[in-house]
Structure 1
Amino acid sequence: MTHPISRRTMVAAGLAAAALPLRAQAPVKAIFGYTAVTDFATVFIAREEGYFLRRGIDVEPKLIPLNPSIPPAIQSDSIQLGGPTPSVFLQAADGGLDHVVLTGGGATSKKMTGIGLVARAGSGIKTAQDCVGKKIGVPGLGAFLHVGFRAWLKSQGVDHTKVNFLEASFPQHGDLLRGGSLDAVVTADPFMVRIVSSGAGYVASYYSTFLPDGLPTLVFTARREWVQKNPAAAKAFQAGIAEAATFLNNPKNTAKVREHIGKYIKLPPEVLASVQISPPLPVVTEPALAWWADQMVEQKLLKARPNLASLIVK
């Protein structure tokens, strides 16, 4: 006959063992590198609305001043996820970094006027031809704005090699124009709105409206090795971004969306209320990425056209 105490001990041990599979595992922690633009809205929403945590991934956004710094930061594991522009990502892959696309940020739209060529007050720049010989700041050499702007120059019959491009982070654009260090900047909201409202510059062209609709402006990436080691976390990140895109697309959530953006980009209320927010692009397709690859091959920014299918995690 089993002693009562032993039986109780056995029952308690059995109950404890049965409870173990029900115990929630600690979420996978991942730092996400972003730059100060609204195209990261879905990351901010998913973080603040709990879409990541409820799926078992704890994503911590971290501000990175220049977009081209994101792939090296991912490679060094100082961040695990990040949002380089498609061109920066493709250059990183071309250079040998084994990174993959999980999902996307914003998308191009002919209705969006939140990106433009902003010229210094008094510079006289009005057309693409006026940019020849001028010093123009871009927030990352080889990044989305730089590559897209050079494609626009070509469409206007201007040789981009005759334009002097200098790298300058978004927050510097207004000061560099005011000080006369740059003749113009290729910039985006909220910085474009602030420059124009301050009188330091004016919009010479909403050049991005010539781009095809639906191209990714940012791709959310990770090392392939990290994805392979954390498949559930990678899927959780994708699902969190998809849910955040649905939240962003609901007009009832407009005020909340702007509140979440303002927390991470630190905008004054009047600026935050006026900035345009790009349509979200939670799924990055091979054809959409191909447009960027073709532009970069033409601009001699890639050694060869990559195998795009191998760079996208389904």
Structure 2
Amino acid sequence: MTNDVARTRRGLGLAALVAAVLVLPGLAAAQEPVKIAFTPTAAAGGIFNAQAEGFFAKDGLANTELMSQQNGVGVVAAVQSGSAQIGSVAAGVFFGAIENGLDYVAIGCQSLFGPGTKVLAVIARKDIDIKTAKDFEGKRVAVPGINGGHHIMFLEWLRENGADSKKITFLEVAHAQQGDVLRGKTVDAVVTAEPNVARILKNDLGVVVSYMNDTKRNLPDAFFMTTRAWADAHPDGVKAFQAALKEGVAFADANPAETSENTAKFLKQDVAIVQAAGKQQFCTPDLTKHVGELNTIMLDLGLAKKPMDPKKVVWTP
């Protein structure tokens, strides 16, 4: 072997080593586990598709895991503790976390309640005479989370229809147990979302009083959030999540049958129940708009003294 050939080989080896070292940080970031916490409703169809159809991996998140939580408080706890890096948090819970000084940022919006939707319902027991909003006064109503998206949308519907929510007793009951509390007459009604609406109706446990889609305004049911520290440290990860979520939503619009199958898989539900559920109205990527929608309703309901600042809570790189 000549000295020139030896030097050439050593040079190529050194170049390969340098290239590997330069690539390793990006490769490590791509392989770093990203756990995404969610509450079990069909509204999370965007991330179900992103996981099942490989959009997360394609867009740069090679190691993602979806984690089901009982309610929005559980999602916040998972993100705060580091058990999850991203969470789908009920709108009111997100607002409360920001109001109490937690440094979270919105990186996506899940879906909408209100006009143009049929995915959220208040269901009354069959033996209770409830036909209007005011009929709920003096009754016991279960919601999956106090100040969660379901609860706030119901409060807005009551307000717009002249009922006094202060005369209603609210209980926090997870989706999976809502049919049981109707059957056992523990409550008079439940506020729930698909596919739980379809399941309760199939089991003949109640009647829909309203889908609460006759309100004047839409309410974002949940925001995908993370800590500001994680977002700032993983800007490419946030962008990958947003890209995959957008693809997951587009897939849902174009492929309802496959979306039902993906949703049934992650919710561990019969696909027929999911297929019977109403079509989701997913959020747009305009997070400033959706934060504004939440601000307006929270202020009008007296649940907040000042609005969230979109410039602070909407993450930007």
Normalised TM-score (structure 2): 0.91
Confirm or deny: 8 A CA contact 2:220 2:294 kept in the other structure: no
Q: Which moved more, 1:2-11 or 1:83-92?
A: 2-11
SS at match of 1:232: helix
The one-letter code sitting in structure 1 at the alignment partner of 2:42 is: T
Residue 183 of structure 2 is aligned to residue 161 of structure 1: no
The one-letter code sitting in structure 2 at the alignment partner of 1:232 is: D
Confirm or deny: 8 A CA contact 1:149 1:208 kept in the other structure: no
The one-letter code sitting in structure 2 at the alignment partner of 1:262 is: A
Residue 17 of structure 2 is aligned to residue 13 of structure 1: no
SS at match of 1:210: coil
The one-letter code sitting in structure 2 at the alignment partner of 1:6 is: A
Q: Distance in 1 between matches of 2:216 and 2:300?
A: 16
Q: Distance in 1 between matches of 2:38 and 2:216?
A: 23
Residue 238 of structure 2 is aligned to residue 234 of structure 1: yes
Q: How does 1:129-278 map to 2 (within 5 A)?
A: 129-213=134-218, 215-250=219-254, 253-278=255-280
Question: Who is 2:34 aligned against?
Answer: 30
Confirm or deny: 8 A CA contact 2:114 2:212 kept in the other structure: no
Confirm or deny: 8 A CA contact 1:118 1:185 kept in the other structure: yes
SS at match of 1:185: strand
How far off its partner does 1:301 sit? 2.5
1:117-148 C-alpha deviation (Å, 9 max, x unpaired): 10012011111111011000001100111111
Question: Who is 1:42 aligned against?
Answer: 46
Q: Which runs of 5+ in 1 are unaligned?
A: none
Q: 2:111 aligns with which of 106, 111, 122?
A: 106
Confirm or deny: 8 A CA contact 1:87 1:293 kept in the other structure: no
Question: Who is 1:280 aligned against?
Answer: 282
SS at match of 1:271: helix
Q: How does 1:65-104 map to 2 (within 5 A)?
A: 65-104=70-109
The one-letter code sitting in structure 2 at the alignment partner of 1:16 is: A
Q: What is the number of residues matched between the two proteins?
A: 311
Q: Which moved more, 1:77-86 or 1:301-310?
A: 301-310
C-alpha RMSD of matched pairs (Å): 2.1
The one-letter code sitting in structure 2 at the alignment partner of 1:112 is: T
Normalised TM-score (structure 1): 0.92
Confirm or deny: 8 A CA contact 1:137 1:166 kept in the other structure: yes
Confirm or deny: 8 A CA contact 1:74 1:223 kept in the other structure: yes
Query: Could you say if the C-alpha distance between residues 13 and 167 of structure 1 is closer, same or farther in structure 2, counting changes exceeding 3 Å?
Result: same
The one-letter code sitting in structure 2 at the alignment partner of 1:300 is: G
Confirm or deny: 8 A CA contact 2:113 2:153 kept in the other structure: no
Question: Who is 1:292 aligned against?
Answer: 294
Q: Which moved more, 1:231-240 or 1:64-73?
A: 64-73
Question: Who is 1:60 aligned against?
Answer: 65
How far off its partner does 1:298 sit? 3.4
Percent pairwise identity = 29
Confirm or deny: 8 A CA contact 1:100 1:313 kept in the other structure: yes
How far off its partner does 1:115 sit? 1.0
Q: Which runs of 5+ in 2 are unaligned?
A: none
